[in-house]
Amino acid sequence: MSLQAGIPSGILDGDLLQCEDVHRVYPVKVSPLFRNLLEKPGDPIWRQVMPDVRELRDEGPLAMEDPLGEEARSPVPNLVHRYPDRVLWIVSHVCAVHCRFCTRKRRWTRPVALNEEMIQRALDYIARTPAVRDVLLSGGDPLMLSAAMVDDLCSRLRRISHVRILRVGTRVPFAAPERITDELVGVLRGHHPLFVNIHVNHPREITPEAREACARLADAGIPLGSQTVLLRDVNDDPSVLEELFVELLSLRVRPYYLLQMDLMKSTAHFRTGVSDGLRLLQRLRNRISGLALPQFVVDLPGGYGKVPLLPQAVEKIEAERIVFRNYEGRRCSYPLVEGEGPVLAKLLGKDG
């Protein structure tokens, strides 16, 4: 499908027409609700879902196809075992929207099909790995599956005695809230303890429809959290994040993570400095409730896991890199924006 076919008439311009090449490499997908939220090129919704020619210019050692090392940590296809007691299971390759900063863009045109054989291999791995007590259903977006399919997957996981916690990572309540039906909510409610973590990046995504979707989930006793990716020229502003986090809390959605951008190829134009996130949260601390403040974390390249941006997680700061020590005590370096080393050292109390 051409790029223009999926976008409302009247919103195209000459710059967008040059993005057909991007669309062929990284296909555009925009939900009906997000299409209605588009106002003009460059607005916060536009930047998240519409193509940018810079996506094809991002090359070099920091432009990674699999920045989190998921493929190397997949004992069976679509199952990522990165931490000792939990696994991430990619149960769908379909999303409501294609986020242009997605860490799994490599899968947009090369999905690994979910079929019964793949499902059974994942379930068999989990069943024979008693250390796994927490399963995160991810994708794509698991809530793009039918309610019956979600019920079947959760039911089969619940038959594994050592699986205690089920989690769902989704963007559906804000991007396609019409999918949060009574049937789906009933299915999720039937598999407690089950947690839903929702991806949302900007207060304009909090529409009346999204409010209703969150209310349905919360009223069913499903704990809701959020994760927000820090994105240049989208939400790297304290007033934007303040409005987002406070509004989320009013919806009974606990802000959980503010995520530093992954080093995914084609996404460098979204990346902020590590120090930017720290400064933003420092500006918000005590201005808003601690309940509304998420953890700022970096998901380390190569699959080393998430680390919070706290002084004790940082071993040293150099001119061009920050060296972390992860939960296993292993060192991993992360690149810094030019000139931010001294600023970051001061923010973290590592300036000697």
Strands 321-325 and 314-317 come out as antiparallel
Annotated catalytic residue 151: no
Residues 6+ apart with CB under 8 A from 243: 203
Query: Which one from 54, 73, 86, 158 is the annotated catalytic residue?
Result: 86
What's the maximum distance between 2 C-alpha atoms anywhere in the chain?
58
Query: Which one from 107, 216, 299, 304 is the annotated catalytic residue?
Result: 299
Q: How many CA atoms lie within 13 A of 216 on its CB side?
A: 20
Binding-site residues for [4Fe-4S] cluster sit at: 95, 99, 102
Query: Which one from 66, 151, 262, 276 is the annotated catalytic residue?
Result: 262
Annotated catalytic residue 47: no
Handedness of CA 198, 194, 115, 86 (dihedral sign): positive
10 Å CB burial of residue 111 (0-12, 13-18, 19+) is middle
Annotated catalytic residue 105: no
Query: Which one from 29, 35, 58, 83 is the annotated catalytic residue?
Result: 83
Query: Which one from 47, 100, 104, 167 is the annotated catalytic residue?
Result: 104
Annotated catalytic residue 346: no
345 contacts 351 by C-beta, under 8 angstroms: yes
CA neighbor of 299 nearest in space, from 256, 263, 348: 263
Annotated catalytic residue 102: yes
Annotated catalytic residue 154: no
Binding-site residues sit at: 95, 99, 102
Annotated catalytic residue 57: no
Query: Which one from 47, 82, 106, 107 is the annotated catalytic residue?
Result: 82
Q: Give the span between the Cα atoms of 251 and 214, in whole angstroms.
A: 6
Q: How far from each other are the two terminal CA atoms of the chain, in whole angstroms?
A: 56
Annotated catalytic residue 332: no
Query: Which one from 26, 66, 102, 332 is the annotated catalytic residue?
Result: 102
Annotated catalytic residue 99: yes
Query: Which one from 19, 47, 52, 99 is the annotated catalytic residue?
Result: 99
Annotated catalytic residue 83: yes
Strands 321-325 and 331-335 come out as antiparallel
139 contacts 94 by C-beta, under 8 angstroms: yes
Name the CA radius of gyration of the chain, rounded.
Answer: 20
Q: Where are the beta strands (DSSP E) in 74-115?
A: 79-83, 86-90
Residues 6+ apart with CB under 8 A from 137: 89, 91, 150, 153, 154, 166, 167, 168, 169
Q: Which residues are catalytic?
A: 82-83, 86, 95, 99, 102, 104, 262, 299, 306
